Amino acid sequence: MSSTLKRVISLIVVIGLSVVLLTGCTGTRADKETDGKSSPSTSSIGKTEDQNFNPEGLPIVNEPVTLQVLTTRWGSMGDSFTQNQWLIDLERKTNVKIEWQVHSLNDWSEKKSILLAGGELPEVVIGMQTFDDTDIMINKEYFLDLTNLIDQYMPNLKEAMQTIPEFKTIVTFPDGKIYSLPKNLPARPMTCNQPIINKKWLDNLGLEEPTTVDELYYVLKKFEDKDANGNGNPDDEYPICGAKGLNMDLLNPFGITDLYGNKMMVMDDGSLAYYPITENYKEGLKWLRKLYSEGIIDPESFTQDATMQDSKRKNPSASLVGFDYAWTPDALFGQWSDEYIALAPIKGPDGKQYAAGDKNGISSIMRNEAEITKFCKHPEVAARWLDQFYDGEASIQNFWGAIGTVITKNSDGTYVLNNPPEGISADAWYWDQSLRDFGPKYVSPDFQKKIKLSPSSGDGLKLEVSKLGDPFITTPYPNVMYTMEESDQLSTLRTDIDKYIETTRAEWITKGGIDEGWDAYIKQLNEMELDQLIKIYTDAYTRYQQIK
């Protein structure tokens, strides 16, 4: 009896399992079908679109509509920005409910490929870090041409495009269509990362602030030899500390600056140079080799990851790192932030100073801040929703935080930033409270004048610190646009060439042999079709010059 019972039970289990597997197998198709059909509530909106959608005024729709919006954030910032009061009010005023999908940029490149290969995107995508030119160009079919939508439903943006013509040229793709929306930012500094040094260490050892590479070397050598942090141990200082490689800003004194990370530079005479094959780069590496061989650079700089580097920067018992390049002096070192100050750009062997940056303000006008995909059920609703962002007051609230928490609006119509809560840096606070650098924004020149920043913290401080580097800013290789074939080739060429340059550099700095290896290095790069890569950059640059 019991054996038959057992048999029956096992039979049921087996059948149950197979059913689960079978449904698992067809699951994807079932999902797609429901997506395509769309739930009854939204389909009814589709039918009665004319009554529900208001082409002007608020609310945008009479019956609530849900939009899926995807965006990306740095590290583990999470989605705290969605609690921004302006976004909450917007949802109430417009009747457009937002279903946020927030991803971390840590592993976004993997997720992005899978998302694009999967053939299903959310309705709206926000943030220039989310999809770049290449992603959009290669997958053009996924994104809507926004030209007509802007014309019909986006009066704010249209006005912005008339005030700043660059707003339109920057988003016009090589095929003449507009796939993404632009932004500009208020109060942008001109200088990107700047040299910062531990002032307390200098004082402890009675040293002056370094101004040339030789002085810098002298100071760093002293940091290494002496007990600079004053904790009794002369060996625990890391004058320079990297993670998975060295910060290439360290080569700034040698005339090497790279704002957008594509290794291209515009020289004084307007010609282009690919810096890893220049004499300056060679000289710079020799200097770094000297620092490494004398123990100034943390020997783990090429093997440790960012977490280990961070634990050294924020070591609880004593400050351990002497010198680095950063956005502001208080950006990297946690509780030791007060010990660091920014320096003027270090004078190179040629006696000149160089700083990476942009004379028009860093990433002041950018594209790809928002896209509407072809999976969007109500493109006109999405367009009108996005247009709400192109307004001065909306933009500053999306850049710093809501009025009432981060921003105070004065009775005379000016805006000031409040001080961050104790224990959090101003920049981190802005990131917590707003979309910050990402997302559509427009601040008109008139509105800019109404913003008053305090020079003691946050973005006001950066503007102040930036003045050190502003006179020495080099012309960056601009934010050019590539054709389909070019971006396809670019990613093939760069995968191998970039890796080869990085491994060779790591080897030269840690083991030496730059002079002996240089010719073979150039030869190898030529074999990897470096000339083709440079040709692509040159062509794109020439085209960019012609648009203007």
Nearest alpha carbon to residue 387 among 406, 370, 367, 373: 370
Binding mask 49-78 for other proteins (x = CB under 8 A): ------------------------------
Does position 277 bind other proteins by CB under 8 A? no
Does position 32 bind other proteins by CB under 8 A? no
Does position 500 bind other proteins by CB under 8 A? yes
State which of residues 496, 515, 531, 545 lies at the interface with other proteins (CB under 8 A).
496
Rounded-to-integer distance, Cα 90 and Cα 82, Å:
11
**Size of the residue set binding other proteins (CB under 8 A):** 54
For residue 21, the minimal CB distance to other proteins (Å) is 5
For residue 3, the minimal CB distance to other proteins (Å) is 13
State which of residues 91, 225, 464, 502 lies at the interface with other proteins (CB under 8 A).
502
Nearest alpha carbon to residue 70 among 454, 470, 435, 548: 435
State how far Cα 318 lies from the chain centre. Answer: 31
State which of residues 21, 47, 76, 546 lies at the interface with other proteins (CB under 8 A).
21
Concatenate the DSSP letters of all residues of 443-470 into one string: --HHHHTTEE--TTSHHHHHHHHHTTTG
Does position 304 bind other proteins by CB under 8 A? yes
Residue 276, preceding bond cis, omega within 30 degrees?
no
State which of residues 22, 30, 267, 306 lies at the interface with other proteins (CB under 8 A).
22
Does position 462 bind other proteins by CB under 8 A? no
For residue 504, the minimal CB distance to other proteins (Å) is 9
Compute the C-alpha angle 524/529/532, nearest 5°.
145
The region that residue 58 occupies, defined by phi over 0 for left and psi between -120 and 50 for alpha, beta otherwise, is beta
Does position 310 bind other proteins by CB under 8 A? no
Does position 141 bind other proteins by CB under 8 A? yes
Binding mask 95-114 for other proteins (x = CB under 8 A): --------------xx-xxx
Rounded-to-integer distance, Cα 345 and Cα 325, Å:
10
Rounded-to-integer distance, Cα 114 and Cα 102, Å:
16
Does position 499 bind other proteins by CB under 8 A? yes
State which of residues 266, 277, 308, 416 lies at the interface with other proteins (CB under 8 A).
308
For residue 523, the minimal CB distance to other proteins (Å) is 12
Nearest alpha carbon to residue 264 among 502, 473, 538, 518: 538
Residues 6+ apart with CB under 8 A from 189: 357, 361, 362, 459, 462, 463, 465, 466
Query: Where does this chain touch other proteins (CB under 8 A) — which range of 160-168, 333-341, 406-414, 504-512?
Result: 504-512
Nearest alpha carbon to residue 529 among 489, 476, 484: 489
Does position 139 bind other proteins by CB under 8 A? yes
Rounded alpha-carbon distances, angstroms, from residue 293 to 225, 242, 289, 297, 299: 13, 15, 6, 8, 9
Query: Where does this chain touch other proteins (CB under 8 A) — which range of 44-52, 262-270, 273-281, 297-305?
Result: 297-305
- Beta partners for 69? 100, 124
Task: Say if CB 150 and CB 383 are below 8 A apart.
Answer: yes
Nearer Cβ to other proteins (151/496):
496
Residues 6+ apart with CB under 8 A from 497: 525, 528, 530, 533
Q: Helix, strand, coil proportions of the chain in percent (round to 5)?
A: 50, 15, 35
Rounded-to-integer distance, Cα 435 and Cα 418, Å:
17
Query: Where does this chain touch other proteins (CB under 8 A) — which range of 188-196, 302-310, 333-341, 406-414?
Result: 302-310
For residue 110, the minimal CB distance to other proteins (Å) is 5
Does position 244 bind other proteins by CB under 8 A? yes
Nearer Cβ to other proteins (10/51):
10
Task: Say if CB 504 and CB 497 are below 8 A apart.
Answer: no
Q: How does DSSP classify residue 420?
A: P
Dihedral angle sign, alpha carbons of residues 306, 309, 311, 314: negative
Nearest alpha carbon to residue 275 among 451, 284, 448: 284
Query: Where does this chain touch other proteins (CB under 8 A) — which range of 63-71, 91-99, 130-138, 515-523?
Result: 130-138
Does position 116 bind other proteins by CB under 8 A? yes
For residue 141, the minimal CB distance to other proteins (Å) is 4
Does position 24 bind other proteins by CB under 8 A? yes
Rounded alpha-carbon distances, angstroms, from residue 398 to 183, 190, 246, 467: 12, 21, 33, 26
Q: Where are the beta strands (DSSP E) in 358-442?
A: 365-372, 407-409, 415-417
Does position 491 bind other proteins by CB under 8 A? yes
Binding mask 507-546 for other proteins (x = CB under 8 A): x--x-------------x--xx------------------
State which of residues 18, 51, 231, 456 lies at the interface with other proteins (CB under 8 A).
18
Binding mask 346-375 for other proteins (x = CB under 8 A): ------------------------------
Nearest alpha carbon to residue 479 among 266, 291, 191: 266
Map the footprint of other proteins across residues 311-340, applying CB under 8 A: 311-312
State which of residues 140, 168, 290, 543 lies at the interface with other proteins (CB under 8 A).
140
State which of residues 131, 142, 340, 385 lies at the interface with other proteins (CB under 8 A).
142
Query: Where does this chain touch other proteins (CB under 8 A) — which range of 138-146, 355-363, 382-390, 420-428?
Result: 138-146
| Residues in touch with other proteins (CB under 8 A) | 7, 11, 14-15, 17-18, 21-22, 24-25, 109-110, 112-114, 116-119, 134-135, 138-142, 244-245, 298-300, 302-305, 308, 311-312, 491-492, 494-496, 499-500, 502-503, 505-507, 510, 524, 527-528
